[in-house]
Structure 1
Amino acid sequence: MSRTVAIVTGASQGIGRATAVRLARDFAALVVVARNRSNLEDTAAMARAAGAETLVIEADLSEPRAAKAVVDQTLALFGRIDALLNIAGAVPQVDLFETTDEQWEAGLALKLHGARRLTIAAWPSLMATKGAVVLMSGNSALFPKAPYAAVGTINAAIIALAKAFSDKGIGDGVQVNSVLPGPVMTGRRRSYLEHWAASHNMTVEEATTKFPRDAGIARYGEPEEIAELMAFLVSPGARWMTGAALRMDGGEVKSI
């Protein structure tokens, strides 16, 4: 029986989890990938409740051999790959002059090279299914600043990588786009706000209002909102969209 199969990396929390759960409504099978198996099992349970068969793969995609292992396990169980959503890769927000070589290398290894290797490993199957790929960037790619230089630089590299893959995909029948979220209320961001509020004699509610206001937006985004965009990009309705870098940030970026 033919089945539609999506791989979602970074699926243990935040946007990755929201995307996996959202795609469970559209895909018969999901492969959820991340380093935290316990959290992945929770994601898989949510996806199964939404109707999708699931495969949990605990993997560190910064390791060069992990990409092939993910693809091999996916094909062994499901026989095909129709969509790949590269979401893994949190990069520390550290000042330009304070970011260590190890932090740069860790960010590049997981977010950039992990996505590159996994996309290449999945490419033959994606060609066979005329599949779709999404790479997660961020709107910091459009305005790199010293307080989070590594984030902006790596996100800009993700956009360029997606463009290169999309160029290859025109001839190979594989659709590739990137997504640039703005500030989203993930668990990681909530923890940061709690820490920041405690150290500045402010409530978490006050901090949650302050930061979006300072960024010139009405509120933080929600992971489920980004997930809807991800789902659209791997849907039949988006088949002619390729090479796009789609920003979803509540209007934080003011330039045209």
Structure 2
Amino acid sequence: MKNDSVAIVTGASQGIGRATAIRLARDFSAVVLAARNKDELEKTATAVNFAGAESLAYALDLREPASADILVQGALGHFGRIDALLNIAGAVPQIDLFEMTDAQWDDGLALKLHGARRLTVRAWDALKASSGSVVLISGSAALDPKPGFAAVAAINAAIIAIAKAFAEQGIQDGVQVNSVVPGAVMTGRRESFFKKWAPAHNLTVEEATKKFPEETGIARFGKPEEIADLMAFLVSPAAKWMTGASLRMDGGEVKGI
């Protein structure tokens, strides 16, 4: 796709966001990066450059309404176009339904849902001009809610719904919109969780990371690079007729149809 094409990737400082940014550097001439952690974001920018694309990094918080304008205007000011927007930012705390506070609910909504919604709206005109693509990331909890994952499930379900709504408008405007629903992916955040969780349950980290997939009914954790490959496909010419889809990649975790 190179040909001066430009992608925006949020949540690009780690995990799936970082893997996606680096993967897109093979297909896009420029990748605009956004995340809150400046130091880690700069590492991603270096990797994107090494992979063959120009990078432009913005350390900002998409919970703040002005951030979407800064990111879109920056991309257009430097490169003159936006061809793909990949909304990946947004961790939601795994807290029991009966213990989660209003502030914690609001924080999860502010970043993952409203941050993605606001950025997609701000970038829409540029995406119309380029007949571009949008991907929003959800999560398998949306399809199988549990009490300890209530906020994760609710916010991820909202992501799927809003992606469908954007896709419907996109049919008229020439913008392709899809959502991706990953299962349990081994990211740095998940590794940190197991380092804390394992000792509290009298397990080694190795035992804990083996126990979780077994209990979930999957063979192993996913890799960020596997999700990144799916993201890259969705914003490639090969997937141009696919819109309004919600694609699971979870190793068989969700058993329902």
Structure-2 separation of matches of 1:114 and 1:145: 24
Which residue of structure 1 aligns with residue 9 of structure 2? 8
1:24-63 → structure 2 map (5 Å cutoff): 24-63=25-64
1:200 deviation in Å? Answer: 1.8
Which residue of structure 1 aligns with residue 249 of structure 2? 248
TM-score normalized by structure 2?
0.98
Structure-2 separation of matches of 1:238 and 1:166: 14
1:100-249 → structure 2 map (5 Å cutoff): 100-249=101-250
Backbone CA RMSD of aligned residues: 0.9
1:156 deviation in Å? Answer: 0.2
Moved over 2 A (4+): none
1:2 deviation in Å? Answer: 5.6
Q: Secondary structure at the match of 1:25?
A: coil
Q: Secondary structure at the match of 1:103?
A: helix
Q: Which amino acid counterpart does residue 27 of structure 2 have in structure 1?
A: D
Structure-1 separation of matches of 2:208 and 2:13: 26
Q: Which amino acid counterpart does residue 210 of structure 1 have in structure 2?
A: K
1:255 deviation in Å? Answer: 0.9
TM-score normalized by structure 1?
0.99
- The answer for unaligned runs of 5 or more in structure 1 is none
- The answer for unaligned runs of 5 or more in structure 2 is none
Q: Would you say the 8 A contact 2:3–2:28 is kept in 1?
A: no
Structure-1 separation of matches of 2:231 and 2:243: 13
Identity percentage of aligned residues: 68
Q: Which amino acid counterpart does residue 191 of structure 2 have in structure 1?
A: R
Q: Which amino acid counterpart does residue 39 of structure 2 have in structure 1?
A: S
* CA offsets 1:213-238 (integer angstroms, 9 cap, x no match): 00000000010000000000000000
Q: Secondary structure at the match of 1:66?
A: helix
Deviates more, 1:79-88 or 1:139-148: 139-148
Q: Secondary structure at the match of 2:63?
A: coil
Counterpart check, 1:65 vs 2:66: yes
Q: Would you say the 8 A contact 2:3–2:29 is kept in 1?
A: no
Which residue of structure 1 aligns with residue 89 of structure 2? 88
Structure-2 separation of matches of 1:116 and 1:179: 15
1:147 deviation in Å? Answer: 0.6
Structure-1 separation of matches of 2:38 and 2:196: 26
1:59 deviation in Å? Answer: 1.0
Structure-2 separation of matches of 1:91 and 1:200: 23
Structure-1 separation of matches of 2:143 and 2:118: 24
> How many residues end up aligned between the 2 structures?
256
1:198 deviation in Å? Answer: 1.4
1:202 deviation in Å? Answer: 1.2
Q: Secondary structure at the match of 1:196?
A: helix
Structure-2 separation of matches of 1:220 and 1:156: 22
* CA offsets 1:192-212 (integer angstroms, 9 cap, x no match): 111111112211111111000
Q: Secondary structure at the match of 1:178?
A: strand
1:158 deviation in Å? Answer: 0.3
Structure-2 separation of matches of 1:212 and 1:50: 32
Structure-2 separation of matches of 1:197 and 1:111: 28
Q: Which amino acid counterpart does residue 174 of structure 1 have in structure 2?
A: V
Q: Would you say the 8 A contact 2:31–2:53 is kept in 1?
A: yes
1:94 deviation in Å? Answer: 0.3
